[in-house]
């Protein structure tokens, strides 16, 4: 073989090696993309995991726990839209449950779907989404009518009608069926968004848990608050009897027992399938729920019980089991976390940050658009480890109609609003907080104030 032919041969071999390495790198990168499982409960407050031993084991004990997990808007659809987009409600535009105009092109499901993920949603989507309409960028789905527990109406891949049985069990069986189907095509990673309706009202437990024992009812100081003169008038008008709240609380906890069965069975199925890929699993609720604190029930309020939620994630080989991140983590951070794990760069900036690195956020911004006729005005809040500052609004959001300020490092139950406690000597200087809340209320992406 002549020298020139040897040179050409060597060049050809080098070229082939380069191409092979390049394709091998792509295949390795694709293989490195994890499967992604997101489990979202409905109205589950922090402090309720004691009835969910499977979930505690597989996610909270075997993953990373975020004790300071919050949502940025304590309302179903705005919160879920933030999970899908990584955006504050003032940026994704879904401010109330009556709106379903999700900006689909900037959702995590769109990014994953376009990157080759097999995608599926099982359970609740958005309250006002037409049940018969297919959810964009999901290959498979089993949408349930919101707040339905027994013989619920589903849309399963385009077939709409009632499905016999308990809705959490139906969602579990469909999830496991899809896991098996996706596993048969394991050349592609998958994304499963699993959203049971529990423990949302009417909080109907499954028959086997209808009389299950629950931890004893121990009212907190906020539930026993006798003097609410420092609270806004729309809060003072509420006075939910403790007995009513205890009954509702017990039913909600019993519905979570079925969710815990679902989580346990899904993780056992994952183990049995012996997936070649890692699975990043995330557990969160769309908002918290007040059980009579300050005389109120439900969500929609800026108080801790409405905005704080259980949050954990598990990714074997990437997150240390049993680790705890004490930084503030939010629902807005889930989409950036998922895309970072999948090595996908979003086309547009997100308001959240990835939780794969230890948290540095020491400040939380929350916002809400309400219904004044029902005693739920708009509000916005800034919260740190020491302080929470709240503004309520009428028609003009630039002119607050009431303010609250708590030193939560000393008053964790938010019993003493320093602005209306009758002691003017402890009134704080609000100039910094007023400026900060305005910055957040209009910010987007990197234009938002820093995390410190």
Closest among 389, 393, 394 to 437, alpha carbons compared: 389
Please report, to the nearest 10 degrees, the dihedral formed by the alpha carbons of residues 44, 281, 140, 162 taken in order.
-30
- Measured between alpha carbons, how far is 33 from 20 in angstroms, rounded to an integer? 20
Closest among 403, 382, 406, 384 to 392, alpha carbons compared: 403
List the catalytic residue out of 76, 77, 443, 448.
Answer: 76
Helices (H), 60-191: 76-85, 89-92, 108-114, 167-183
State the burial class of residue 60 (Cβ atoms within 10 Å of its Cβ: 0-12, 13-18, 19+): buried
Residues 6+ apart with CB under 8 A from 387: 405, 406, 407, 408, 409, 428, 433
Q: Which two tokens stand for residue 66?
A: 């975020």
Q: Which two tokens stand for residue 176?
A: 């496991």
Catalytic-residue membership of 76: yes
Please report, to the nearest 10 degrees, the dihedral formed by the alpha carbons of residues 121, 268, 204, 303 taken in order.
-70
Backbone angles phi, psi at 307, to 5 degrees: -105, -15
- Residue corresponding to tokens 């480890």: 385
- Measured between alpha carbons, how far is 421 from 111 in angstroms, rounded to an integer? 50
Confirm if 257 and 212 have CB atoms less than 8 A apart: yes
Concatenated DSSP letters of 182-199 = HHTTTTS-EEEEEE--TT
**C-alpha Rg value of the chain to the nearest Å:** 24
Dihedral sign computed on CA atoms, order 204, 206, 210, 213:
negative
Q: Which residues are catalytic?
A: 76
């Amino acid at each position: 073989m002549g020298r020139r032919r040897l040179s050409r041969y060597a060049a050809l071999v080098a070229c082939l090696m380069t191409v092979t390495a390049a394709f091998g790198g792509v295949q390795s990168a694709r293989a490195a993309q994890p499967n992604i499982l997101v489990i979202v409960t409905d109205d589950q407050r922090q402090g309720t995991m004691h009835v969910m031993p499977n979930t505690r084991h597989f996610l909270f004990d075997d993953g990373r726990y975020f004790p300071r997990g919050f949502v940025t808007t304590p309302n179903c659809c705005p919160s879920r839209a933030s999970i899908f987009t990584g955006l504050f409600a003032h940026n994704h535009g879904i401010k109330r449950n009556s709106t379903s105009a999700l900006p689909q092109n900037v959702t995590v499901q769109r990014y994953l779907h376009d990157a080759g993920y097999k995608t599926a949603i099982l359970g609740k989507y958005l309250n006002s989404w037409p049940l018969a309409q297919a959810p964009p960028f999901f290959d498979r789905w089993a949408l349930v009518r919101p707040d339905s527990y027994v013989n619920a109406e589903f849309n399963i891949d385009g077939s709409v009608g009632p499905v016999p049985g308990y809705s959490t069990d139906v969602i579990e069986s469909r999830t496991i069926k899809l896991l098996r189907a996706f596993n048969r095509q394991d050349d592609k990673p998958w994304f499963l968004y699993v959203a049971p309706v529990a423990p949302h009202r009417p909080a109907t437990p499954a028959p086997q848990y209808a009389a299950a024992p629950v931890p004893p009812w121990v009212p907190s100081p906020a539930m026993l608050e006798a003097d609410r003169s420092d609270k806004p008038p729309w809060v003072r008008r509420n006075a939910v009897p403790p007995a009513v709240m205890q009954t509702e609380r017990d039913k909600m906890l019993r519905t979570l027992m079925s969710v815990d069965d679902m989580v346990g069975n899904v993780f056992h199925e994952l183990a049995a399938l012996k997936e070649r890929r890692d699975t990043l699993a995330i557990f969160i609720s769309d908002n918290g729920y007040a059980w009579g604190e300050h005389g109120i029930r439900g969500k929609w309020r800026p108080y801790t019980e409405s905005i704080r939620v259980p949050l954990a994630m598990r990714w074997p080989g990437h997150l240390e089991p049993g680790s705890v991140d004490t930084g503030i983590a939010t629902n807005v951070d889930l989409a950036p976390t998922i895309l970072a794990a999948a090595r996908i760069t979003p086309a547009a900036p997100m308001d959240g940050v990835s939780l794969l690195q230890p948290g540095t956020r020491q400040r939380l911004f929350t916002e809400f658009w309400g219904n004044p006729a029902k005693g739920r005005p708009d509000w916005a809040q800034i919260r740190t480890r020491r302080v929470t500052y709240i503004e309520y609004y009428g028609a003009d959001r630039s002119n607050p109609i009431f303010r609250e300020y708590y030193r939560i490092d000393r008053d964790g139950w938010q019993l003493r609003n320093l602005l209306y406690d009758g002691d003017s000597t402890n009134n704080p200087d609000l100039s910094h907080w007023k400026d900060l809340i305005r910055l957040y209320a209009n910010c987007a992406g990197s234009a938002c104030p820093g995390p410190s």
